Structure 1
Amino acid sequence: MLVLLLLSFTIPAFAVNQLPGKGVKVQPARATWNTGYFQEALVREGLKELGYKVEKPKDLTNPLFYQSLALGDLDYWTNGWFPVHNGQLPKNFYEKAEKVGYVVKAGGLQGYLVSKKEVDKFNIKSLADFKRPEVKAAFDANGDGKADLTACPAGWGCEGTIAHHMKVYGLEDDINLIKAAYSASMADALARYNAGKPAFFYTWAPNWTVFKFKPGKDVMWINVPEINPTEAQKPMVDRLTVSGVDGAVSDPIKLGFVVADIRIVANKNFLAKNPAAKEFFKVFTLPLGDINEQNTKMQNGEKSQKDIERHVKEWIKKNQSTWDAWLAAARNAA
């Protein structure tokens, strides 16, 4: 009789711990930029393995996501960039939602990269070096007397920051901004680099560009001449300089763009009812290089949802012990 009583308690408890999310439907969202798709798909797979019924993510702009999350229409997303997204949060947002864990701490980088060969040859440390005639000549592909910079297409948020840099550092007569479609412009820059010519471009990470152009080997992150923030950057001025960046010409380096932590953001009610999901969010983290590598596969044509799901399975297989530890932590939390 005692054995039967023990079994009646231990077997269901074991089953619940293995699938703590069983019977719970979850609605995630996903950012509109495809460099964030990989981590979304990985987290979704983790929740599925914990028993949750995870719906197809809704692709939303940042402000619409944060508003929907606060209203309780969504449960989470993996694409929070902070402090960059602070200004896009609705009033009293943190009464309804919270940030959990770090997908990549200080992983949201933006800045200017220059081919290492030219950095070494001309001793390039910052944008100010592009005022020097010999540097301008080396990076002048169209013969207009200016260095060519692969920049942001019109309408992108980074366009305004780059224009600010050109103005406040007096570079408008020294640097020519290429604002064509970014992927095509970067593909052209890569082809030129592979042909032995200089490279000078704006980019961000995670991104395929910093997998194809490896910082420290192929290219180097350079400084802005001094910290001179835009109005929007002023509350985050301490995040315009960062230490420990691989392939930077100095440490710390003045990137001139806000360095962001990439984080999961979730609805508080959902987290309170689902401690297993919350713990998985807490422990989930990715090397920036792994995201860059997957983004490169997408850039090379493997960009369907089926491709992304395959990338997820390949990553899990390669990192099985880490993955199993995350799932175990989540089950223990339940």
Structure 2
Amino acid sequence: MDTAHRTLRPRSSTPSWAVVLLLCLITAACGPAASVGSDEGGPATGDEAASGEIRMARATWDTGFMQAYIYHDLLEELGFDVSNPADATLDPNVFYPALGQGEYDLWANGWFPLHDIYLERELFSGEQNPEPISPVGTQVAGGALQGYLVDKQTADELSLTSMADFTNADVARTFDEDGDGMADLIGCNEGWGCNTQISEHIDRLAWGTNVEQVVGNYSDLITEVQSSVEAGEPVLFYTWTPNWTVDVLAPGEDVVWLESPALPDDEGVTTAEGLEGCAADADACDLGWVVNDIRAVANDDFLAANPVAEALLEAVQIPLDDIAQQNAEMNAAGDSYTEADIAQDAADWIEANRDTVDGWLEQARAASG
């Protein structure tokens, strides 16, 4: 079955705050680059364990921007000269090949196993060749959930609990916006790993026969999803956590998570225990997506040459609740939230967790031998 796929062109109306922020980061068109890091804290003179330049990148989803700055600032405390990750805001399908070629040294926004597909590249012979890149440490263990949701009103009216319900053509037509008889699933940006995974679900799972993925700028699409929910209109969409979408569209109140069959060859846990807003009302909600770890990813040559940096990447852990809180505050502030605000969030987080952070830095400095 060919993957159903529809690209939604941006509307001419003013975009959401997140779209504006994202465009600013990519084009650097919103003024001078923000000062990164903080003048407070950091090692005393002569305490640096490392030196040299580090070329950082970051992903295009704004839910990971603060974490990138946290890594940036900590590496600078160790004595590295680190590029502003906002200057290289990239989709995964662009970043990972560039990382393998040594154009960048690392980023903080790896999702595994979702990003496993980028750890190898296909040769002309058809063989898979490992890229010289490695995930390092575990920033957030098992905290990255993904899945499909519908507005609660329609779920209640049609008794929807699972994506398997979309094998019913009548159900699918309820979510058809363009008149082709297929349910429109609001999906991911072209170039994101979730875009590829959704397409694979549509290709290989029975419910995909009646569903097509709508592709566009995710923040813009979710703004339209929010409008649909508020208007009482049926809507089907993908999201992940941590993400501000589940703050503005509360699972269990505005929307519900649908269970979904997993792909037969998926390895790993696909159930979320005690998930708020699971339509199936189950203690363990099977979302059909393997629960992901968020991890830094670095070039192997860089890691070999910089054991201090590697030790820091191994040590850093950021609580999921802290990420979710920052995401919610960023979203609530709307257009007024700037790049400098995000950088300050990272600096504030570091100072609020100084005792823990100093332990990471001490561990990293010890790796200098």
TM-score by length of 2: 0.66
Look up the SS of the partner of 1:294 in the other structure: helix
CA contact 1:227–1:240 (8 Å) conserved in 2: no
Residue 127 of structure 1: CA displacement?
2.0
Per the alignment, residue 127 of structure 1 pairs with 163
Are residues 1:20 and 2:20 paired? no
Are residues 1:77 and 2:113 paired? no
Q: 1:169-318 maps to which residues of 2 (within 5 A)?
A: 169-170=206-207, 181-194=217-230, 200-215=236-251, 218-224=254-260, 226-228=261-263, 234=265, 237-239=266-268, 241-244=270-273, 246-247=275-276, 248=278, 249=280, 250-299=282-331, 300-301=334-335, 304-318=338-352
Q: Report the structure number with the largest CA radius of gyration.
A: 1
Per the alignment, residue 35 of structure 1 pairs with 63
CA contact 1:241–1:252 (8 Å) conserved in 2: no
Match of 1:113 among 125, 149, 171: 149
Residue 45 of structure 1: CA displacement?
0.7
Summarize deviations over 1:119-140 as a string: whole Å, max 9, x none: 5676542123457799789x66
Look up the SS of the partner of 1:125 in the other structure: coil
TM-score by length of 1: 0.72
Look up the SS of the partner of 2:107 in the other structure: strand
Distance in 2 (CA, whole Å) between partners of 1:161 and 1:319 is: 36
Residue 44 of structure 1: CA displacement?
0.3
Residue 101 of structure 1: CA displacement?
0.7
> What residue identity is the alignment partner of 2:307?
P
Per the alignment, residue 95 of structure 2 pairs with 65
Look up the SS of the partner of 2:187 in the other structure: coil
Q: Which segment drifts farther, 161-170 or 80-89?
A: 161-170
CA pair 272-145 structure 1, distance change in 2 beyond 3 A: closer
Q: Which segment drifts farther, 116-125 or 268-277?
A: 116-125
Look up the SS of the partner of 1:238 in the other structure: coil
Look up the SS of the partner of 1:111 in the other structure: strand
CA pair 221-303 structure 1, distance change in 2 beyond 3 A: same
> What residue identity is the alignment partner of 1:319?
N
Alignment RMSD (CA, Å) = 4.0
Match of 1:89 among 99, 119, 131: 119
CA contact 1:19–1:51 (8 Å) conserved in 2: yes
CA contact 2:149–2:257 (8 Å) conserved in 1: yes
Summarize deviations over 1:195-233 as a string: whole Å, max 9, x none: 677664221233221232344565432211x3345xxxx
CA contact 1:150–1:186 (8 Å) conserved in 2: no
Distance in 1 (CA, whole Å) between partners of 2:80 and 2:220 is: 40
Q: Which segment drifts farther, 158-167 or 243-252?
A: 158-167
CA pair 215-329 structure 1, distance change in 2 beyond 3 A: farther
Per the alignment, residue 10 of structure 1 pairs with none
Distance in 1 (CA, whole Å) between partners of 2:64 and 2:109 is: 6
Summarize deviations over 1:22-62 as a string: whole Å, max 9, x none: x3222222224433322111100111122221123333443
> What residue identity is the alignment partner of 1:28?
M
Residue 100 of structure 1: CA displacement?
1.2
CA contact 2:105–2:299 (8 Å) conserved in 1: yes
**Matched pairs, number:** 310
Q: Which segment drifts farther, 164-173 or 65-74?
A: 164-173
Residue 148 of structure 1: CA displacement?
6.5
Are residues 1:49 and 2:77 paired? yes
> What residue identity is the alignment partner of 1:65?
F
CA pair 101-143 structure 1, distance change in 2 beyond 3 A: closer
Distance in 2 (CA, whole Å) between partners of 1:42 and 1:59 is: 16
Residue 313 of structure 1: CA displacement?
2.3
Summarize deviations over 1:157-202 as a string: whole Å, max 9, x none: 54565466567434755x6866565433322332454567766422
CA contact 1:151–1:159 (8 Å) conserved in 2: no
Q: Which segment drifts farther, 264-273 or 39-48?
A: 264-273
CA pair 68-149 structure 1, distance change in 2 beyond 3 A: closer
CA pair 301-246 structure 1, distance change in 2 beyond 3 A: farther
Residue 102 of structure 1: CA displacement?
0.9
Residue 67 of structure 1: CA displacement?
3.7
Residue 64 of structure 1: CA displacement?
4.6
Are residues 1:330 and 2:364 paired? yes
CA contact 2:271–2:288 (8 Å) conserved in 1: no
* Higher normalized helix content (fraction of residues): 1
Match of 1:98 among 129, 134, 147: 134
